[in-house]
Amino acid sequence: LRCHNSSWGVIASSFNCTMIRNRGKSKSNAVPRMTKTILSVVAVTSLGAGVAFARVADRGRVVKARNEASTTAKRMNHRSIDRRRAATKAELALEGPKYRGRNRHNAAREAKLRKLEAEASEHRKRNNVDYTPSQDANGKRMGDPSLLSREEVSHLALRSDSSGKRELSSQLTGCCYTYQSYSSSTLGSLYGKDLTTGDTPSHDSGDEDCTTDGLSFIGVSFSVNTAHGNPYTYQLNDQFPMENIIDRDYNYVMSMDEDGWLVGGGYKAFDYSGKMPYIDSSHTELLRVGNMNPAYGGTSISQVYNAMASLSFAPLSIYPEYVKGGGGGGDGSGSVPSSDVTLIVSVVETYSDDSYSDYEKFLNDLFNAFDAVGGGSCMDDHDTDPHVSMSRGVKFKSSTHEYNYFYTVNLEVAVWQSIYPKGVVIGSDSSAAFPPGSRTSAQYVGYGNLYFFYDRANITKAWAANRDMSSSEEYYSTLLANSDSDSLASMYSAVTTIGFDWQTKSGSGDDDQEDYEHNPYNWKATMAIHDMTDGWDLPPNCYMEGETFLGIPLAANSDSKLQSTSSFQNQFDFDSLCDFNYTYIVDFGTNHGWLVGEHLDNAVGSIVDKDTAHIPLFYLGTTNPNMGGMSLSNMIKVAKTIDFGTLYIKPAFVFADDNGHLKLQFEADSNSALGYLYNNLCSLLGISWNYNNPSNDYGYYTSCAMHAAGDQATYGCGPDNSGTGGFCPQMTIAYSAKFGSEDQAAAYMSMANNYVDYWRSLYPSGVAVGTNNFCSEGGCLGLFLNRMDVYQVFKPGSAGSWVEFNGGTFSPTASPAPTYQGGCDDPRNKHLDKCFRMQNKRKASVVAWDSLGTIGQLSILLVAFMATTLTVSIFLSRARRRKRKGESYVGFFLRDLQRTKKKKKKLRKRRKGGNDLEEDMLGDDRFGGDDDAYNPGPKPRAGRSSRSKSGSRSTRSKSRKSRDRSASRKRGSSRSRKDNDGDDDKSRRSKSKSRARSRQRSRSNSSRRNRDDGGNNSGRSSRRERSSSRSRRQLV
């Protein structure tokens, strides 16, 4: 038997080793030990039989309970054990990203082999080639490369892998290798898009000199500041409570476009619906100024201001008529129709002395004033029909809900008509500063003002009426503001019926309109690719729309002067895709212009927004849990559990979709990290659909996501996908862009796709976008409240890093989620913002250093470097002159340091005494201070003395004679100095010290080294000097 490590080897090893140990001993001692060994073998055998059928322990619960941020977890989940050895298959974690991807490369290789085999098989079928290959003399196959075996195909695949190219199609952090060499035009054909067409305006202005339409206008504002609206909204209207004619609670309305309600106070940044956080922009136009660029037939701002300054007008009274719905929409496949909701108003006609009304005179004066300043040809030649646009793309839950909504709001209008039977002058007893965000002091608003709207969200200037209101006008204009709650209740209770034909006027009672009802089970996964200028068709159990989504932020600093933009990437300059000069585009179908950053001085008067470029990936819907949605904190919790790879993206082509929106398509690579992330988001947060249910560790779900739980990236758009799902990475450039002609549309597409081809050549395998301050490694994911506001950032690999966006610095691991008991001591609270800041608090020195900036840091480093080099130069210069022979620089530094300390100590002692007679007359320069031990001077340097050992004695004898003569001269001179100056002790001591330091420098000066320092003590000093010279002769 031999000792080994097999399963039964333990028993055999125990017996064998016992026999070896008992060898050479007496049999009497060996027998009892052998008996014990046999008994132990039987016991182990029985124990082995008992555990033979036991199962291996399940480590899944251990891995789940492991803190993923710990060092141990990182080591166990890391593919490399150390620098020299990779982890074996048995050493990999039981679960996690490394476990899931352990066979990823083998799977990719198998996929490539299958592809090569399929191509070889197709080649054989096409050429009718027999599969039996010919063989050479050694029995190896030869001939047609399509007749290769699986092993030979594998060999060719491995050779192709070693060509140096990045095979990113099989890596979770890469993308877009399959169509690497394809141009944008070719990819457009593969995606089924026409890259040569675009929408053109249905009509023009009728004036050839007006090449670009515009949206700027003169009008009356109905803006109100409400508790549920945007806090920065102006209060310019105390007469009409516009919040009473909107459905903010979604009792009737199912969805709207991304702007939501344009009246009633605007939206907060954290509204459940996720609408754009604009201020209230309700208004009625009186004159459409249009384009603001004179070069394109427009009117400049200065011309507008001069024209209005020359105009004199009386306060205008406004009368509310009714609320109506208009337009129609829907795709005809179960989608409910969409329409615009509008409040119709009119200007009250008053007459003075002739047949023309005061309002007609005002319009005549208005046009004459603009003609006098040279107004452009794009200005309207007639006044517009007064109305207030309330919302666009509205979809009601059913025709019944639509009917009930219009009845409710028109009953409110009927109340207004009863309160203001002859109209009312619009205004407010408040203050405001124009434009929004202006640093000028707020001014009194007043009543009867006219405003210039550069765009619907920006009032830049106001003009007051030429007179005060009459007593009657003042009474009605301040009636609601001065009424208490009981008075208001009585006003509303007095009106129970609608005194006008609201059904016909509103359009809800038309005979041609068919009854409809939203069927949530007609929802399709392709609805995730949504037109943001229209309302959503909501899935089952969702009762409120929402614009919250997960996507890739692509915004960069723009030229906007009213808004600031955070830079999320510097790899693409999307301004190249914008026609800011309006060479090709003449108009937009909405109030929004270029979504990648509109300029303040844009010609068409589009809303001046900051850059909102992004790629929406997964729409989460409303953040209101009571309406079927999911709270914001729960969204963040679930998103943090996804360990996704770096998100690579690659532009494909620019095109105009079926709605006329300009979009930049990115390659929809389902095998990339972006596709992998989409699959996980659907399985974690998608809605239950087709017997597929979502599942996540927290159990938090939403019914308002626009993606199914069973949806995958392979079902999305693109030539390699089926086109039945919601995965289609696109960036919207502009809504409803209108080209001057089909030729101009084709020219723009050619220009834009030339830039795309350049980006494709620059990033052949895609790029992970980011900046130095935001996601420096690239490839981050953002949580958007809407397309304007990025709320949270997630870094690849579940990592955390400080990022800067929205004017502040944040961490991707911050969360407003509820805390567990124990505060930051509980590991479950480590992701909270408070705990993260405590555990990752930056040192004060680091903060101070960063506050200096690049120039300050370089200045400090430069000064420190100069001071260091200067110090080293001074030390080396001093060391060369004073270090002893054979002494190192370090030794000299230490000795010089000790000598400096002693000198400082002596100097302090001398400063304490004030009497010169108490000072040491001999000096301590030759005594170390410790037991009067003699401290010899340093040895002379090499090369300073020409004396040799043979001549040293004669030199010393000569030196003694010269010292005797110098001593006598010293005594004589000392007496004369003592008679003349009695207080020259300090000067004599300094001369003595200088003579002592020069003893080794020159032979001629050696005679002066034995002079004494006192006149009366010259003899004793001479003897002491002679004795010291003998000592020196012995020590040298």
Per-residue pLDDT reduced to its tens digit, 53-106: 333 333 344 344 444 444 444 444 444 334 344 444 444 443 444 444 444 445
Beta-carbon neighbour count of residue 648 at 10 Å?
26
151-158, long-range: CB < 8 A, 24+ apart: 153/113, 153/116, 153/117, 153/120, 154/109, 154/113, 156/116, 157/109, 157/112, 157/113, 157/116
Predicted confidence band of residue 512 (pLDDT cuts 50, 70, 90): low
pTM of the full predicted structure? 0.64
Predicted confidence band of residue 191 (pLDDT cuts 50, 70, 90): very high
Work out the average pLDDT over 325-345: 76
562 has a pLDDT exceeding 80: no
Least confident of 564-578, 586-600, 682-696, 910-924: 910-924
Q: Residues 343, 323: contact at Cβ < 8 Å?
A: yes
Work out the average pLDDT over 633-648: 90
Looking at per-residue pLDDT, the higher value among 861 and 907 belongs to 861
Predicted confidence band of residue 921 (pLDDT cuts 50, 70, 90): low
The residue whose two tokens read 């790899």 is 571
Max mean pLDDT among 391-400, 919-928, 996-1005, 1027-1036 falls in: 391-400
439 has a pLDDT exceeding 80: no
36 has a pLDDT exceeding 50: no
277 has a pLDDT exceeding 50: yes
Closest CA to 242 of 480, 461, 546, 498: 480
Q: Which bin fits 346, alpha (ψ -120 to 50), beta or left (φ > 0)?
A: beta
Q: Using the CB atoms, write b or e for 135-172: b if 16+ within 10 Å.
A: eeeeeeeeeeebbbeeebbbeeeeeeeeeeeebbbbbb
781 has a pLDDT exceeding 50: yes
768 has a pLDDT exceeding 70: yes
pLDDT at 140: 39
Predicted confidence band of residue 1028 (pLDDT cuts 50, 70, 90): very low
CA torsion through residues 285, 257, 607, 564, sign = positive
pLDDT at 909: 60
pLDDT at 908: 62
348 has a pLDDT exceeding 50: yes
717 has a pLDDT exceeding 70: yes
Closest CA to 171 of 92, 97, 104: 104
262 has a pLDDT exceeding 60: yes
For all residues of the chain together, what is the average pLDDT? 75
pLDDT at 983: 47
Predicted confidence band of residue 380 (pLDDT cuts 50, 70, 90): confident
pLDDT at 617: 96
Per-residue pLDDT reduced to its tens digit, 116-136: 766 766 666 666 544 444 444
Least confident of 213-227, 246-260, 322-336, 348-362: 322-336
Which residues, 6+ apart, have CB-to-CB distance to 611 below 8 Å? 555, 556, 557, 558, 560, 565, 574, 595, 596, 597
Using a 10 angstrom Cβ sphere, with 0-12 exposed, 13-18 middle and 19 or more buried, the burial of residue 131 is exposed
Q: Regarding beta strands 737-739 and 651-656, do their DSSP bridges make them parallel or antiparallel, or are they unpaired?
A: unpaired
Q: Residues 678, 685: contact at Cβ < 8 Å?
A: no
Q: Using the CB atoms, write b or e for 365-374: b if 16+ within 10 Å.
A: ebbebbeebe
Per-residue pLDDT reduced to its tens digit, 152-161: 444 444 444 4
- pLDDT > 90 fraction of the chain, expressed in percent and rounded: 42
847 has a pLDDT exceeding 50: yes
Predicted confidence band of residue 309 (pLDDT cuts 50, 70, 90): very high
Work out the average pLDDT over 645-663: 94
Q: Residues 537, 395: contact at Cβ < 8 Å?
A: yes
Q: Residues 702, 685: contact at Cβ < 8 Å?
A: yes
Residues in the chain: 1036
- pLDDT > 70 fraction of the chain, expressed in percent and rounded: 63
pLDDT at 141: 40
Q: Regarding beta strands 730-734 and 737-739, do their DSSP bridges make them parallel or antiparallel, or are they unpaired?
A: unpaired
Per-residue pLDDT reduced to its tens digit, 940-950: 555 444 444 44
Structure tokens at 872: 């080293």
Least confident of 200-204, 616-620, 632-636: 200-204
Least confident of 603-607, 879-883, 936-940, 1031-1035: 1031-1035
409 has a pLDDT exceeding 50: yes
Least confident of 87-96, 247-256, 712-721: 87-96
Per-residue pLDDT reduced to its tens digit, 412-436: 999 999 999 999 999 999 999 988 7
Least confident of 35-39, 315-319, 597-601, 756-760: 35-39
Looking at per-residue pLDDT, the higher value among 351 and 920 belongs to 351
pLDDT at 372: 92
Per-residue pLDDT reduced to its tens digit, 783-808: 999 998 888 899 887 765 455 555 55
Closest CA to 791 of 274, 288, 86, 137: 274
Predicted confidence band of residue 528 (pLDDT cuts 50, 70, 90): very high
Least confident of 418-432, 585-599, 903-917: 903-917
